Structures are given as structure tokens and as C-alpha cells.
Amino acid sequence: QVQLVESGGGSEQAGASLRLSCAASGRTFSVYPMGWFRQAPGKERELVAAISTVGRATYYAESVKGRFLISRDNKNTLFLQLNSLEPADTAVYYCAAFPRFYSGTYSADRVAYWGQGTQVTVSS
């Protein structure tokens, strides 16, 4: 199995930046497509960004495109750079691993492993 631990969340003012990290352990990290989801109180968990394995192809939700960047290193860490933060970005952010060699739709119901989440709060 894979264990995911997020870090880097916090409280910032609009326009500020944050960098979230997700450390993975347990199995070969490189074979898992990875993603970041977020969930605000009373709302559905939504995909923010995703990244493939070897090719590192990326996907971004329209609401964060141009502001956030997802990346992964060659070892065991996934990152999400959050720039130009807006109050609407306030949510718990979850690191996620999709099934090994997965190439389907990056949706919450297809996630194989979840992190515990890290809170991001943006004030205006």
C-alpha cells in the first residue's frame, strides 16, 4: 500500500503563495499518477490538478489554471505551487494517488490512496 502525508498548508491573504508537499511511502511512487483535490465545507471534493507518471503530463481545473502548478520529483514527493491565492481557494487540500499505470479520468472515485489533508485558508 501507499501512505501519503501532506504538508505546507496555512493561512494567507489574497495574492499570496503557498507550496504544498506530499510525501509518499510504501510502494514504487513512480508508477502512480498523482493528483491534488480540495474540499470546502458543505461542498464536493473536486480535482485541482493531476500529473502522470513518466511523461509528467498535467491537468488543471479551470479555476486554478495559470495560478497553480503541480509537479513531482524523481523520488517520493508530489508538489502543488499555489500562486495568486483567492478566497475561493480556501479548502482542505488532499494528496491522492491513482491506481498504478492508470490512464483514465482523474476523478475522486478512481483514487486508490488518499492523504489526510492540509488546510489552506485565504482571506481577502
Res. 54: pLDDT tops 80: no
> What phi and psi values does residue 111 have, to the nearest 5 degrees?
-70, 135
Q: Is 84 helix (H, G, I), strand (E, B) or coil?
A: coil
Cβ(78)–Cβ(70) below 8 Å: yes
Res. 26: pLDDT tops 80: no
Which comes out higher in pLDDT, residue 25 or 119?
A: 119
The tens digit of pLDDT for each residue in 63-98 reads: 999 999 999 988 899 999 999 999 999 999 999 999
Q: Is 29 helix (H, G, I), strand (E, B) or coil?
A: helix
The tens digit of pLDDT for each residue in 2-19 reads: 899 999 999 999 999 999
Q: What percent of the chain has pLDDT over 90?
A: 82
Distance of CA 68 to the CA centre of its chain: 10
* Alpha carbon separation from 27 to 63, 74, 103, 106, 116 (Å, rounded): 32, 14, 19, 20, 18
The predicted structure's pLDDT at residue 27: 67
| Beta-bridge mates of residue 114 | 96
CB atoms within 10 A of CB 96: 25
Q: Which three cell numbers stand for residue 118?
A: 492540509
